[in-house]
Amino acid sequence: MSEKIHQTMGQQSGRRSWAEPWKIKMVEPLRVTQRADRQKALADAGYNTFLLRSDDVYIDLLTDSGTSAMSDRQWAGMMLGDEAYAGSRNFYRLEAAIQSCYGYQHVVPTHQGRGAEHIMSKIMIKPGDYVPGNMYFTTTRLHQELAGGTFVDVIIDEAHDPASTHPFKGNVDLRKMDELVRKVGADRIPYISLEGCVNMAGGQPFSMANLRELHAFCRRHKIPIMLDATRTIENAWFIRQREEGYADKSVRQILREICDLTDGCTMSAKKDLLVNIGGFFACNDEQLCLKAQNMVVVYEGLHTYGGMAGRDMEAMAIGIQEAVMEEHQSARIGQVHYLGRKLLDAGVPIVRPIGSHAVFLDARACLPHIDQDLYPAQALAAQLYIEAGIRSMERGNVSAGRDPATGNNRRPKLELVRLTLPRRVYTQAHMDVTAEAVVEVYKRRNEIRGLRMVYEPEYLRFFQARFEPL
C-alpha cells in the first residue's frame, strides 16, 4: 500500500506555493481561550467585537488600521526620532518621501486619517454643499455632515451587488456625477471624494481608465478630486494585475499616475504605510495648504508634527518605501486571496471579486432569516468570535447608522462581516484556522438569531453600541 501524500498549500490551490517575503524576528504570544470564556467575554462586551479586550482575542481580524507589523528598518528608524516641537528633521524626511512617491507638493501631518478628514472637511465644505464619493466611509461621511455637507453616492451599481465579479467595482458612475451637477450645480460641489480600494464595497479598486474619465469631467466643471489614499497602493496593484497596458508598470509608477490625476488626498497611514499611528493631508494648491496648516494647529499640533512624534514620522517615511515594493503587495494581497478562495471553495457567500485588505462575508446571504434591523452581520461576527476567538467587524446596518433626516436605519444593500488582515502579522496557518471556523459557523447558520441594540451613541455607533441576543 502506497503512503498517502499530503498536498502543499499551493497544490491544494492548483498553483505553485509562495511564502511571505519576510522572516519572523520577534513573536507576541497569543492567548488561547475556551468557548465558555469567549461567551462571557462577548456578553460583557455587549455583543460588540469593538468592546472586547484584546487579551480575550486569539486571531484579531477587526481591522488593518495600525495593527500591521513594522520592519526592522522601521524600528531602527524609531531610534532616530527628532522630538523637537518645531521643524523636526523627521517631518522633512516624511515630506520628501510623500513628494517622491505620491507627487503632492504640500504636506500637513495629522495624528491619523480621521484628523486629515476633519481638516479637509472644515476648509473645503460649506453648509448646503454636496460631496459625491465612490461609496461612503463611516468617518469620512460624518466629517462631511458635521461641516454642513451632504454625501452623495456615485459609485457604479455593481459595487452594491456582492455577487458581481466586475473587476473595478470602485469605479465612479459618470452618469450619476453628471446628474448631480445638473441638479445642484458644480458650485455646490466642493470636491469629489475618491477612495482607492473602496472599503465598504469589499476592498474594491477603481480603474485608471475610469479615473481619467473622471479627471476630464471634473476639469470641465472645475471640481477638485480629493483622493482617500489610505489603500491606494493596493489599488495600484490591482490596476497592474487587471487593466490593459499596465502589466509592465511598477506599483510605484501606477501610484504616481493616480495621484497626478487628483488634486490632493487624505491618508490614514495606519493601513498602506505600515505604521501604528499617523496620517496626513496633502495637496498641490498652496492656498489650500495654508488653510490646512492654520487648522491643524487648532486641532492637532504644529504643522511640522500634526499630532505625531518625530519617531512616528520617521517610521512612516520608511514605510512608504516598503509599501510600494512589488513583493510586499503581492504577498499582502495574496494572503487575503488565499483566505477568500478557501471560503469560496467551501461555498461560503463572500463579496466577489476578493478585494485588497479583507475578505467580506455576505451576512445577508448567510443569514437570510434575520431581518436587517436585527443586525445579521453583527450577529454573525459575534458567532465567529464564540466559535474560535476570531475577532471580525460588522460592516452593514450598524455601521451605516441612521438617516439624519428621518432617524431610521439606513439599511444598506451590503450587509457584511469584514475579516481584515493586518499586514505582515499572521501566517497562512492562521488563515487556515480562520477558514475552518467560518465554515463551521456557516454550517449552523440556521441556528443563529438576531440582536437588539440596547445602547446607541450619537455618532459612529458601531464603535460603542451594545446589543443583546433575541
Query: What sign does the CA torsion over 241, 247, 249, 250 have?
Result: positive
DSSP label at residue 394: E
- State the amino acid at position 426 in one-letter form: Y
| CA distance readout (Å), 77 to 28, 74, 112, 250, 314 | 21, 5, 19, 26, 6
Q: How far apart are CA 96 and CA 73, in angstroms?
A: 18
Exactly one of 56, 173, 228, 362 is catalytic; name it. 228
| 467 is known as an active-site residue | no
Exactly one of 231, 240, 256, 271 is catalytic; name it. 271
Task: Decide the pairing of beta strands 192-195 and 225-228.
Answer: parallel
Residues in the chain: 470
| 151 is known as an active-site residue | no
Exactly one of 85, 260, 427, 455 is catalytic; name it. 85
Q: List 452's β-bridge partners, or say none.
A: 468
At 456, is the secondary structure helix, strand, or coil? Answer: coil
Pick from 347, 345, 383, 350: nearest CA to 364:
350
> Residue 220 corresponds to which cell in the numbers above?
470641465
Exactly one of 49, 63, 67, 138 is catalytic; name it. 138
Q: How far apart are CA 364 and CA 404, in angstroms?
A: 24
Task: Decide the pairing of beta strands 264-268 and 59-60.
Answer: unpaired
Pick from 192, 161, 220: nearest CA to 350:
161
Exactly one of 130, 426, 462, 467 is catalytic; name it. 462
- Measured torsion, CA atoms of residues 343, 346, 351, 353, in degrees rounded to the nearest 10: 80
| 238 is known as an active-site residue | no
| 463 is known as an active-site residue | no
| 169 is known as an active-site residue | no
Exactly one of 342, 395, 445, 461 is catalytic; name it. 395
| 462 is known as an active-site residue | yes
* Residues known to be catalytic: 85, 137-138, 228, 271, 395, 462
